[in-house]
């Protein structure tokens, strides 16, 4: 890899995380989860992946394979606010696709690829203010349809209430 190295502070943090996890089952997942969680843009830059591979003695291809296999990991910077729409069965039967379409329209986002293939979506607005994601299921099915806005769960959402949430974020400190 030709990516540049992470800065010393970042390196120190990653070293600590690795020390905590190494040698235990599920170590690589744990390391990637923790490192991504601390990044201000909630993603794993390539140089960080490279550094983790070197430090843990894991083949670079395997680290990249894991980082791209699991839905939780992002290789692109995420928006400051995340809106996550549940695409579980209960939410689907209660209209979550319409919510997703509406939200994309509202934020001016378009997904590439075929129409309707809304699987594992993650889209960020150009100003990096909003990221729209989908999740397979939050396990909040009794509250369907469910939307998570900045890690708070909202149940029985409809297009109006979703729009109100978005407006509220937009008016918050002009961010």
Partner 1 sequence: MRIQDIGGFNEVREAGLAKYVPARPRIAIGMGTCGTGNGAEGVYHAFADEINRRGMDAQLAPVGCFGFCAREPLVNVWHPGRPLVILQRVQANDVNRILDDLEALRPTQDLAQCKIEDWDHFTAHIRFGAGYPEIPNWHEVPFFKGQKKIVLRNCGLVNPDDLEEYVAVGGYQALYKVLIDNRPDVVIEQIKAAKLRGRGGAGYLTGIKWEFLRKAEADCKYIICNADEGDPGAYMNRNEIEGDPHSLLEGMIIGGFVMGASEGIIYVRAEYPLAVHRLHRAVEQATEYGLLGENILGRGFDFNIQLVEGAGAFVCGEETALIASLEGKAGRPWPRPPYPAKKGLYGKPTNINNVETWCNIAPIVSKGPAWFTQTGSPKSSGTKVFSLVGKVTNTGLVEMPLGTPLKTFVYDIGEGGLNGRQVKAVQTGGPSGGCIPQDMFDTPVDYESLAQLGSIMGSGGMVVMDEDNCMVDVARYFIEFTHSESCGKCVPCRVGLDKGLRMLNAFTNGSAPLASLESLDELGRMIRDTSLCGLGQSAPNPVLTTMRHFRHEFEITSGPGAAARECARTWPFRPAKTVARCT
Binding stretches for partner 1 (CB under 8 A):
24-30, 32-33, 58, 62, 65-66, 69-73, 87-95, 98, 114, 116-120, 135-144, 146, 153-155
Q: In whole angstroms, how close is the CB of 53 to partner 1 at the nearest point?
A: 11
Q: In whole angstroms, how close is the CB of 55 to partner 1 at the nearest point?
A: 13
Q: Are 141 and 153 in contact (CB under 8 A)?
A: no
Provide the 10 A C-beta neighbour count for residue 15.
Answer: 12
Closer to partner 1 by CB, 53 or 130: give it: 53
> Exposed (0-12), middle (13-18) or buried (19+): which is 86, by Cβ within 10 Å?
buried
Closer to partner 1 by CB, 27 or 166: give it: 27
Q: In whole angstroms, how close is the CB of 26 to partner 1 at the nearest point?
A: 3
Tokens 């297009």 map to which residue?
159
Q: In whole angstroms, how close is the CB of 48 to partner 1 at the nearest point?
A: 16
Q: Are 80 and 128 in contact (CB under 8 A)?
A: yes
Cα first-last separation, the chain? 36
Closer to partner 1 by CB, 129 or 154: give it: 154
Q: What is the DSSP letter of 148?
A: E
- Which H/E stretch holds residue 168? helix 159-171
Closest-CA residue to 171 (of 129, 143, 131): 129
What does the alpha-carbon distance between residue 115 and residue 164 come to, in Å, rounded to a whole number? 27
What does the alpha-carbon distance between residue 57 and residue 51 come to, in Å, rounded to a whole number? 10
Closer to partner 1 by CB, 116 or 173: give it: 116
Closer to partner 1 by CB, 105 or 175: give it: 105
Closer to partner 1 by CB, 89 or 150: give it: 89
Q: In whole angstroms, how close is the CB of 153 to partner 1 at the nearest point?
A: 4
Q: In whole angstroms, how close is the CB of 150 to partner 1 at the nearest point?
A: 13
């Amino acid at each position: 890899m030709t990516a540049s190295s992470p800065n010393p502070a970042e390196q120190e943090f990653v070293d600590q995380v690795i020390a905590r996890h190494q040698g235990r089952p599920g170590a690589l997942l744990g390391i990637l989860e923790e490192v991504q969680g601390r990044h201000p843009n909630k993603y794993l830059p390539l140089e960080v992946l490279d550094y983790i591979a070197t430090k843990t003695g894991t083949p670079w291809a395997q680290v990249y394979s894991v980082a791209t296999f699991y839905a939780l990991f992002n290789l692109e910077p995420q928006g400051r606010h995340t809106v996550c729409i549940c695409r579980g069965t209960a939410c689907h039967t209660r209209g979550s696709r319409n919510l997703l379409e509406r939200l994309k329209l509202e934020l001016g986002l378009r997904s590439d690829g075929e129409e309707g293939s809304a699987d594992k979506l993650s889209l960020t607005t150009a100003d990096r203010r909003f990221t729209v994601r989908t999740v397979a299921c939050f396990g909040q099915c009794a509250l369907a349809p469910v939307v998570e806005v900045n890690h708070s769960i909202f149940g029985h959402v409809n297009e109006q209430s979703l729009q109100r949430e978005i407006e509220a974020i937009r008016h918050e400190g002009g961010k």
